Every structure is written in C-alpha cells, then in structure tokens.
Amino acid sequence: MNFFYKKILSDGFVKGEISLIETKDLDRFSHLIYNLRVEQLKKNKKSPFLKLVGRNQELDLLLEKLISNKYVQDALNVLVGKDYLMMAPTARFSSPGDKGLELHQDAIGETGLLFLVTNQNPGSTIMFKSSHKFPGRIANKLSWNSKKLINFISFFSSSINGKKGDFYFWFHKTWHGRKANLDGDKEHISIFFPFFPQSANRSDIEKKNVDYINKTNNTYLKELMKQKVFSNSDNRKSEEIPLSMKIEKFSIKDLMSKSFLLFLIKFLIFEIVFFPIRILRIFKKINHKKNS
C-alpha cells in the first residue's frame, strides 16, 4: 500500500499530491462561486453553505473536471469502492464573524474530497488526527466540545490548510469542526464533495440529490448523484471492502500506533480537565427537567 493510503488510514485525512486543475480554470471556478455567493447574500440568506450543482453550466463542467480526474477516481475506488454515490457538493464559507461549528462526525462510510478555493493558512476546518480509529461516534458527547471552545481546541488539532487549488481526502468519521473566523477581513471558501460506498446503502442521499439531478444537464454529475443498483448480488460480494468501511471496525493493532496513542492521551487529559463542565451540564439538565 502506498504512502497516500497509509497516511489516510493513520490520520483520517491526507493531502492530495498533485494539482487537479489549471490556474485559469481555478480562477473561473472561484469567480463563479463568488458570483453565486453575492446572489445568495442579496437574498439575505446568510447560510455558510451553498449547493453548486445545476446553477451554471460552466460551473458544472468545472466540478466534473475536478472529480473525473484520474487521480481522484483512483483514490475514490480504493476509499469508497466502485460505483460510489456522490452527495451534491457544497461550497462552505467561513466569513468574518462566523462563529464556527463544534466537533462532530458524519455517516458510516462517508468519505470526502475537500477542495480549497481560497488560500487557507491557517485553515478554517480542523480535524483530530487518528480520531477516526476511536470506536463508534462519540464526538458530540465530549465535555469539551462546544462552539465556545472550538478555537481553543484548534490548538490541539490539525488545521486543513494550504493554497487555493490544494485538496484533501478524508474520512467523515474523523472528529472535525470549523473554527470561528476572527480574521476580520478574510473569507475562506472550501468545497465539500461527500461520497458514499455502495455498501452503505444510502438511497436516501439520492432522494436529497433529486433537485440537483433535475437542475443540471451534466450527465457525469447526474450519474454520480444516483445510487447504482446491482442485479447480481454475487458481483457485490466478491468486491473488496472499501477502506471507508474497514475503518468502522476497531482493530487492536491501532493501539500500537503512535498517532492514535497521542490522540487518546489528548482525549483523556481534556476529559479530566473539563470534567466540571460535564457535571455542570448534568445539573443544568436535571434543573431543566424539574422546571418543565
């Protein structure tokens, strides 16, 4: 197994090693996204998210260019397996004044391509290295996980940073969040392309994609947003389990990994230091129940 796959299996995320699109395409890409952002703000919609498919033919073509790249396809075939399903990609804005997002984990098998549209150093997305190795999904139960603490927590996590055009692959099981933007003038823009393996059986995602499947004329994007159905189940059994599904199973071997042990130490220290917050929350809950 080459360095790229070893790295994502060890850390939960890995930076791409090549350039996916030419500078002139990248400039057009950010220009089109800025235009959509202006339109969105004019309508007084302050959401940090913006769906991109079906808004503009040229933009659809650029999205296709990114994800049809051989390097991306090869990586996705290993990470999520063949015939993967794509959730309609979203541009995510971290604008001045944005309060950030607490740590969380997403669905089983979900694996992302995260593309930086603007230079981000330091980045706005943070991830806890090797946290995907921790069994189950507990990030939302941590005593130290809150929006108010996210910038403090970021000192102990990894920043998804780089130049515009850089990109990462990552398992959405990795504990991740968004820092509050205290920069004052800098807006960070990233594009999130979430992918699901066949075996995750997410026909509900196709339903969420329907609007975008109908809006776009781009057949490549349309096909990627549809769940592929196998008639021959034997075909499916013989296929290798993709890495994004393998990581769901805890392996005792992980305890030998230095980066996972480091993560466990951080996790335990934080739980001890922030234990009073946990107690306070329990009291608040009891009080709330009494009053209601």
Binding-site size, Fe ion (CB under 5 A): 1
Q: Which residues contact 240 (CB under 8 A, 6 or more apart)?
A: 81
Q: How far is the CB of 253 from Fe ion (least distance, A)?
A: 27
90: contact with Fe ion by CB under 5 A:
no
Shortest Cβ 38–Fe ion spacing (Å)? 26
Task: Report d(CA 205, CA 120) in Å as an integer.
Answer: 30
Question: Which of these segments, 64-72, 105-113, 189-197, 282-290, binds Fe ion (CB under 5 A)?
Answer: 105-113
The nearer residue to Fe ion, 171 or 222, going by C-beta atoms, is: 171
Q: Which stretch binds Fe ion (CB under 5 A): 40-48, 49-57, 100-108, 277-285?
A: 100-108
Minimum CB separation from Fe ion for residue 82, in Å?
25
Interface segment toward Fe ion; rule CB under 5 A; list 104-112, 113-121, 196-204, 234-242: 104-112
Q: Which of 83, 106, 183, 239 binds Fe ion (CB under 5 A)?
A: 106
Sequence length of the chain is 292
- DSSP line for 19-44: --S-HHHHHHHHHHHHHHHHHHHHTT
Distance of closest approach, residue 247 Cβ to Fe ion, in angstroms: 16
Q: Tokens for 90, please give them.
A: 């979203």
C-beta of 178 vs 222, nearer to Fe ion = 178
Angstrom CA distances, 201 to 45, 54, 77, 170, 206, stand at: 33, 25, 17, 20, 10
Site string for Fe ion, 180-209 (x = CB under 5 A): ------------------------------
Output the six-digit token pair for 33.
């996204």
Instruction: State the Cα–Cα distance between residues 254 and 263, nearest whole angstrom.
Output: 11
- The C-alpha angle with vertex 164 and arms to 161 and 166, in degrees rounded to 5, equals 65
Q: Nearest residue by C-beta to Fe ion? A: 106
DSSP H helices in the chain: 3-11, 23-42, 57-67, 70-79, 150-153, 203-215, 219-224, 233-238, 243-246, 258-273, 275-291
- Applying CB under 5 A, the residues found at the interface with Fe ion are 106
